[in-house]
Structure 1
């Protein structure tokens, strides 16, 4: 693929991002290299927007037929089907590795094991239950849950992908069972990533879905989550792996739901 900033080139990078993050079938008519994958990471947040819109549309349609509990469950199921539980797998592997290993090499070995351990199973069950309960609460206000679904998919990927620019990749993970990984994030890509997230919040503010105070709180919470997970990964591994980025995405997504649930509960939206 030619090294240019043409629309066609950027569209191909976007398709590569879709192929990397989801199970949605796309046609890739070029050789995928590490360089292209690194460049495609700039569109991870936009892929999140697309996923969020699909999930929000599903929820909107289902709520005319089913109770909120079933709508949330079906929406979560579609999310897992579209992504192949890509990030959920990373979340479980991180908890298995960090909980079951003492040395870095032990943790990485456990994280690469396709079997699910007690730590990972417990962590996966807990986060899925927390997502479910949070979305049930948010379903009391249709516009809020639709925003939450889209924001959760988009902003969580902003946080997870942005970790690449501040952390070292753990080389021992080179034989990991997960897909190839974007390991470098240019300043241009970081700008595109952040701009995508800010535009989503700007649209929500323009449509009066949330207040500026709520938007600011979401940003603050995500910054804190980013700091916490980054320090956690550094203390455990000295850097990050693909599983770590998946865990960061899950933690960020849940944080968005919990933040909005707290706002709704306090009637501050």
Structure 2
């Protein structure tokens, strides 16, 4: 599933081609996504200018003068810019045709993504209750410590809760907890402020590195072969269960938590 770094890299890739461009037309080939695409979306977008392309959590915003299109890539979706007029493929569900001759094309094989309209995206039910961005000044150890008091849930589940902080998906939770030396099953309410400071820094470091690597390993966002390759990140623990810990050489343990793979070092993480 595309997570925050992939979505941010997508934003960075498409923004230069879209911002300031007038929308000449919208083609919807399949409106049956996770939520049906509004029937009047092409009419709303026709003739409007994309003022900016922003991101909140794993949602992309196409800001127009009259409102905002909220886009989610779902489990397997992608956005790319078409410049050569290549025909749509089987899972290319939405085209936004721009005045510069380019087309913003949405591909989603599993149709778990969404294209929604909002007059004020900050008040939309999908957005309004989200926690802070992990790379923002609002997020840090003190924030995590305050919200965690009295919590009996495992720390991995706690930091993956979008009401606590957005964008810490399964891969990044594994990596950040390893860097901070915290066992994924430790109760969130039993972790000290100092350890939360280390964890918050590990989250910021992990996501920043993933965004940077995503930006350098994506093949392209232009033309029909420009599907995001996403990043080939050098992960420390995720996907390496049963191999030696990169710090102490103890065999990394892999378990399932909430039906998700969880890898940790039984020696380094307490």
Q: What TM-score do you get using the length of structure 1 for normalisation?
A: 0.31
> Which protein has the larger Cα radius of gyration, Structure 1 or Structure 2?
2
Bigger relative contact order (CA 8 A; separation at least 6): 1
Relative to its length, the structure with more strand (as a share) is: 2
Q: What TM-score do you get using the length of structure 2 for normalisation?
A: 0.31
